[in-house]
Amino acid sequence: MTQQQLQHLYWRAGFGMHPKSNTIISKQRTSVVEVLFESSKAFTPLHIDLSYLDGIKPVDLKSFPELAREINQKGTKKILEFNIAWVKRLVNPSELLRERMTLFWANHFVCRERNPLYAERYNNTLRYFALGDFRDFVKAISKEAAMLKYLNGKQNRKAKPNENFARELMELFTLGEGQYSEKDIKECARAFTGYSHDFEGDFVYKENRHDNNSKLFFNSIGNYDGDDIIDIILKNKQCAAFISDKIYRHFVNPKPNKKHIAAMADVFFKDYNIENLMRFVFLSDWFYDDDNIGSKIKSPIEYLVGMANTVPVVFEKEKDLIKIQKLLGQTLLNPPNVAGWKGDKAWIDANTIMIRLKLPSVILNNSVIDSGQNDQFKKKFMQKYKGKLPFKTLPNWTTFLENFEAVATEDLQDYILQGTINKGTADYLKTLSKMSKREYCVQLMSLPEYQMC
């Protein structure tokens, strides 16, 4: 594999790489890809301290309103704590590809949950199944307390079916728009009646709330429950095609290639094994086509984590990580709606591009913006923070210099930037001083091209 191909793979299967990435022991494609999967076979759940919930029972919250308020207030803080813990996990993952896939699935099986216990469990379910069996994955998601709350599963009863989950199951999670009828939605909802959970978030099936009558779903009749419905949906190859299309747009190119997506669907439909599908993608010649390299606009999380992957950085106030996510338009655990973030060009507007171009200086250059006295971004921040620097950080330039020791300063752009550099930028790079590898890195990260991966 060429250096550019390695960079491409590690930006799609992770968040970039540096010359001393210890997983790169061979440049043979099969070996490199296999290391990615082998190193992600383990499952390391992500936990925060939720001991304040120990011994709390539903009756306590009903009997003591002040306790309920206290629990809710602590829960709000714990959601932010879990967000920060997740970002730190992405920066230093124990299983790189599994974490990358977890981030992807979080914007597929979209769910917003304010109870930190349920949110943590949901996030770890995404992580557990991220490279596993998609059939089991969908069934597990349908039983998660967070999803049952988010899409009104607990209110879905035989006397009054709630169609929210049934609709999103087909439209957003498995088949896509236009692949089902309103009748299918109603019958699907009936099959999921009786799904509930207890106070701790464990799934509970309430037989007395389940509709035990026959259902007509996709021209098939039976006394179906939720798992039966999912099995029927997955018999339709459209499900494999829909998921393959979404994975292609995220991991390969936002512009779909019907031929390649069809090949992916053929692989996925055989067994719905996510690992097999991703291995097929990463080993395919077309994945490394020039048109696919540098074709994606980085999501805010990809941008932030990728920067920290190149230059390790510690925030004096970890809550600043939340602040940056809000500025860039993607706050983990807080999606805009059940469809999630649109991605691609939606990540960039007049405000976010300005912030993106300045953040490397803010975060990595002692929080100083060195672009002139009339810089509007600097004025805005200084006014907001009353003359104080917006973020106090400690970049680890020693580790950066060690990792890039074998790379000449003038070649640094080959590692920092992805894809083709346009002539204007190439000419601009020639004018920049190459005396400091550190300064040149910040300048490269401040280019529009750095927004691409």
If residue 267 lies in a helix (H) or strand (E), which one and from where to where? helix 258-271
162 to 36, 103, 146, 405: CA distances (angstroms): 42, 29, 16, 60
Please, are residues 348 and 430 in contact by the beta-carbon 8 Å criterion?
A: no
Assigned token pair, 96 = 């790189």
Q: Which residue in this structure is represented by tokens 């999501």?
A: 299
446: confidence class by pLDDT, cuts 50, 70, 90: very high
Angle subtended by helix axes 3-12 and 29-38, to nearest 10: 20
Give dist(CA 403, CA 444) in Å, integer.
17
- pLDDT single digits (tens) 89-139: 999 999 999 999 999 999 999 999 999 999 999 999 999 999 999 999 999
Model pLDDT, residue 390: 74
Cβ–Cβ under 8 Å, residues 237 and 262: no
* C-alpha count within 13 angstroms, C-beta hemisphere, residue 13: 29
**Which residue is listed with tokens 């010359």?**
19
Tell me the pLDDT tens digit for each residue of 140-152.
999 999 999 999 9
Q: Could you tell me if 412 and 3 are in contact, meaning their C-beta atoms sit under 8 angstroms apart?
A: no
- Predicted confidence at residue 369, as pLDDT, reads 43
Cβ atoms of 40 and 131 within 8 Å: the answer is yes
Two tokens, residue 115? 């109870």
**pLDDT of 452 above 50:** yes
pLDDT tens readout for residues 258-308: 999 999 999 999 999 999 999 999 999 999 999 999 999 999 999 999 999
Averaged pLDDT, 59-70: 95
Q: pLDDT digits over 15-54, tens only?
A: 999 888 765 667 899 999 999 999 999 999 999 999 999 9
User: Residue 297: phi, psi to the nearest 5?
Assistant: -80, 125
* 245: amino acid identity, one letter: D
pLDDT given for residue 366 in this prediction = 66
Query: Which two tokens mark 199?
Result: 């106070």
For residues 310-338, average pLDDT: 96
Pair 99, 93: CB distance under 8 Å: yes
Looking at residue 372, its pLDDT comes to 41
Mean pLDDT of 371-383: 52
pLDDT of amino acid 416: 95
Is the pLDDT reported for residue 375 higher than 60? no
Q: Is residue 131 within 8 Å of residue 149, measured between CB atoms?
A: no
